[in-house]
């Protein structure tokens, strides 16, 4: 079928969508992908592998009726099949479609189930690529869980890709790091694939997946010993679909190797010349508070304190927001800084709680540029100063 007669050329749509959503967080990209007319009819393709539950959970929150295409190669681990049934039931996904190779194709090309030993590419084409292409025929776009950290072939992914001028490929988690995935799973109490605990951070078909050693790339266990990194479903006309070119700017134009301070006016270097001190230091102008600090011990000691930094050990840890509100209610008027695992989606919450700024690593600043922080939400009408004044 022709996918672009109504929606327009796929390449132009991919470029426009990336321009429009480049500074959005993963859940926002996914929400728009499910509703934006420029994306069209969309399905999520899921392996129900080690990290698949993240996107599946997001889908269950946004629209449980979204079609989910599960490719059963009939060579999967038994644990994967059990996990697929468990996750689909737990999340209430109402349109999970199991995709398999045609029986006549298997009989003709792999009757003894040994094709993978002679030609892994042919096996992937038979059991994954062709069945998926058939299942995607009614759709204008499909959603994947690919991420830049998953190997060199994925290191420059963008949110939207042109798949051979046939359809869009959507990668909401492209900019996520391993910690983002783990934090999301912990925060939402999501079930883990049972093989992850046994040393399988990336899970495919049983014959072609092995355990990964400490320090290896997470996908090192896929097709071990072969010059192969992808199963074929992320290729078009035999060529890997890549994102934009690597950043080759001179070093002086890149972010400096120091933590970045996020404010309403952009990214900046830390302008404080004085070190933050532990709360036990009386007379200190800047204090460092851990996530479990008791701010009531600072009653009567806030005069002369110019700045307080509160640590966030994980983005799912909200204790720092409560501490900031209490400090403002106690009358603290100096600078409040949130530091650590705070992401762009939480910027509005941080500002409403009373924080003036957020301290992040250069790595997070690269993954979530300033525009993402500014695009979150309009917090200004709801900040702590307005509430204390009784403003609406």
Catalytic residue numbers?
231
Residue 261 CB: number of other CB atoms within 10 A? Answer: 20
Tell me the C-alpha to C-alpha distance, in Å, between residue 298 and each of 114, 333, 351, 358: 70, 13, 22, 22
What is the b/e burial string over 356-381, where b = at least 16 CB atoms within 10 angstroms of the residue's CB? bbbbbbeebbebbbbebbeebeebee
DSSP 162-217: EETTTEEEE-TTTT--HHHHHHHHHHTTPPPPTTGGGT-SS--BGGGB----TTS-
Q: 230: Cβ–Cβ under 8 A, 6 or more apart, which residues?
A: 153, 240
State how far the Cα of 168 lies from the Cα of 15, in Å rounded to an integer.
Answer: 11
- Helix and strand numbers, DSSP H then E, in the chain: 15, 14
State how far the Cα of 315 lies from the Cα of 200, in Å rounded to an integer.
Answer: 25
State how far the Cα of 16 lies from the Cα of 119, in Å rounded to an integer.
Answer: 39
Is residue 331 part of an annotated ligand binding site?
no
Q: 205: Cβ–Cβ under 8 A, 6 or more apart, which residues?
A: 73, 75, 76, 116, 127
Q: Are 42 and 142 in contact (CB under 8 A)?
A: yes
**Residue 320 host element (H or E):** helix 319-329
Sheet holding 167-170, edge to edge: 96-99, 68-71, 42-46, 141-143, 167-170, 160-163
Is residue 123 part of an annotated ligand binding site?
yes
Bind-site residues for [4Fe-4S] cluster:
123-124, 205, 208
Bind-site residues:
123-124, 205, 208
């Amino acid at each position: 079928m022709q996918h672009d007669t109504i929606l327009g050329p796929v390449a132009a749509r991919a470029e426009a969508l990336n321009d429009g959503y480049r500074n959005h967080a993963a859940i926002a990209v996914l929400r728009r992908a499910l509703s934006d007319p420029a994306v069209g009819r969309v399905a999520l393709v899921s392996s129900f592998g080690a990290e698949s539950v993240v996107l599946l959970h997001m889908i269950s929150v946004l629209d449980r009726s979204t079609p989910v295409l599960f490719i059963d190669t009939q060579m999967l681990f038994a644990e994967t099949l059990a996990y697929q049934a468990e996750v689909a039931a737990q999340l209430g996904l109402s349109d999970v479609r199991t995709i398999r190779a045609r029986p006549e194709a298997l009989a003709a090309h792999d009757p003894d189930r040994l094709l993978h030993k002679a030609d892994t590419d042919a096996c992937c084409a038979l059991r994954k690529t062709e069945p998926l292409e058939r299942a995607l025929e009614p759709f204008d776009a499909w959603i994947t869980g690919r991420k830049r950290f998953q190997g060199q072939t994925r290191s420059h992914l963008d949110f939207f890709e042109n798949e051979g001028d046939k359809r869009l490929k959507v990668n909401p988690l492209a900019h996520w790091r391993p910690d983002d995935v783990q934090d999301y799973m912990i925060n939402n109490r999501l079930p883990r694939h049972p093989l992850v605990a046994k040393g399988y951070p990336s899970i495919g078909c049983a014959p072609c997946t092995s355990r990964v050693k400490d320090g290896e790339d997470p996908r090192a266990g896929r097709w071990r010993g072969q010059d192969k990194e992808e199963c074929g479903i992320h290729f078009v006309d035999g060529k890997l679909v890549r994102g934009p070119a690597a950043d080759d700017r001179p070093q002086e134009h890149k972010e400096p190797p120091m933590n970045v301070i996020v404010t309403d006016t952009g990214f900046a270097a830390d302008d404080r010349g004085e070190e933050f001190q532990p709360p036990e230091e009386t007379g200190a102008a800047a204090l460092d508070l851990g996530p479990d600090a008791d701010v009531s011990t600072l009653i009567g000691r806030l005069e002369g304190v110019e700045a307080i930094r509160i640590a966030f050990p994980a983005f799912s840890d909200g204790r720092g927001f409560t501490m900031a509100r209490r400090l403002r209610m106690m009358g603290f008027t100096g600078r409040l800084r949130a530091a650590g695992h705070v992401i762009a989606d939480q910027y509005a919450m941080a500002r409403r709680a009373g924080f003036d700024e957020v301290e992040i690593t250069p790595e997070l600043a690269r993954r979530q540029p300033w525009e993402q922080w500014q695009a979150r939400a309009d917090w200004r009408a709801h900040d702590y100063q307005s509430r204390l004044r009784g403003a609406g």
